[in-house]
Structure 1
Amino acid sequence: MSTITVKLGERSYPINVDSGILSSSQSFASSISSNKVVVVTNDVVKPLLLDKLLLALLDYEVDVVCIPDGEQHKNLQQFDYVITKLLELKSSRDTTLLALGGGVVGDLTGFVAASYQRGMPFIQVPTTLLSQVDSSVGGKTAVNHPLGKNMIGAFYQPKSVVIDIESLSTLPAREFAAGMAEVIKYGIIYDYQFFSWLEKHADLLNNLSEEHLKYTITRCCEIKAQIVAEDETEKGIRAILNLGHTFGHAIEAEQGYGKWLHGEAVAVGMIIASKVAVHKGWLSESDLIRVEALIAKFKLPISPPANMDYSHFAKHMQHDKKVKSGSIRFVIPNRLGEASVTSDIDVSLLKEILG
Structure 2
Amino acid sequence: MRQIEVGGPPPYTVTVGPGLLRGLQVPQRHIALIHPADLPAAFVERAQAALSPTETIAVPARDDCKTLEVLSGVLSRLAAANIPRDGAVVGLGGGAATDLAGFAAASYLRGVAFYTAPTTLLGMVDAAVGGKTGVNLPEGKNLVGAFWPPQAVWCDTDTLATLPDAVFREGAAEAYKHGLIADPSLLPRVLSPEFRPGGTNLEDTLADAIAVKAGVVTRDPTERGERAFLNFGHTLAHALEAVTHHAVPHGEAVGYGLHYAALLSRALGGADLTPHTHAFLRWQRPAPLPPLTFEQVMPYMARDKKADADGVRFVLLHDLARPYLARVPEAVLRAEFGRWQADVQGSASLGGPG
Which residue matches 1:194? Answer: 186
Which runs of 5 or more residues in structure 2 are unaligned?
Answer: 339-354
1:282-337 deviation line (CA, Å, top 9, x unaligned): 122xx312221123212235x7x342121112111121111111410001122122
Residue type of the alignment partner of 1:323? A
2:285 to 292, 295, 299: 299
Residues in 2 aligned to 1:21 and 1:152: alpha-carbon distance in whole angstroms: 31
Shift of 1:73: 2.6
Shift of 1:19: 0.4
Which residue matches 1:215? Answer: 204
**TM-score with structure 2 setting the length:** 0.92
Which residue matches 1:38? Answer: 32
Which runs of 5 or more residues in structure 1 are unaligned?
Answer: none
Q: How does 1:269-348 map to 2 (within 5 A)?
A: 269-284=257-272, 287-300=273-286, 305-343=289-327, 345-348=328-331
Shift of 1:90: 1.0
Shift of 1:245: 0.6
User: Whose relative contact order is higher, 1 or 2, with alpha carbons under 8 Å and at least 6 apart?
Assistant: 1
Which residue matches 2:348? Answer: none
**TM-score with structure 1 setting the length:** 0.92
Which residue matches 1:52? Answer: 46
Shift of 1:46: 4.9
Residues in 2 aligned to 1:4 and 1:223: alpha-carbon distance in whole angstroms: 10
Contact conserved, 1:4 with 1:225, CA < 8 A, in 2? yes
Residues in 2 aligned to 1:331 and 1:241: alpha-carbon distance in whole angstroms: 8
Which residue matches 2:2? Answer: 2
1:169 to 129, 154, 161: 161
Shift of 1:177: 1.2
Residues in 2 aligned to 1:229 and 1:290: alpha-carbon distance in whole angstroms: 28
Residues in 2 aligned to 1:337 and 1:110: alpha-carbon distance in whole angstroms: 30
Residue type of the alignment partner of 1:170? T
Residue type of the alignment partner of 2:331? S
| Greater alpha carbon shift after TM alignment, 231-240 vs 62-71 | 62-71
2:256 to 252, 262, 268: 268
SS state at 2:261 partner: helix
2:89 to 97, 104, 112: 97
Contact conserved, 2:189 with 2:201, CA < 8 A, in 1? no
Residues in 1 aligned to 2:56 and 2:271: alpha-carbon distance in whole angstroms: 49
Contact conserved, 1:239 with 1:331, CA < 8 A, in 2? yes
The verdict on how the C-alpha distance between 1:216 and 1:49 changes in structure 2, with shifts beyond 3 A counting, is same
Would you say how many aligned residue pairs link Structure 1 and Structure 2? 338
Contact conserved, 2:17 with 2:157, CA < 8 A, in 1? yes
Shift of 1:62: 3.2
Which residue matches 1:352? Answer: 335
Residue type of the alignment partner of 1:295? L
Shift of 1:95: 1.2
1:244 to 233, 243, 254: 233
1:205 to 171, 195, 209: 195
Contact conserved, 1:48 with 1:170, CA < 8 A, in 2? no
SS state at 1:205 partner: coil
SS state at 2:20 partner: coil
Which residue matches 2:242? Answer: 253
1:85-121 deviation line (CA, Å, top 9, x unaligned): 0111111111111101101111001001001000000
Percentage of matched positions with identical amino acids: 31
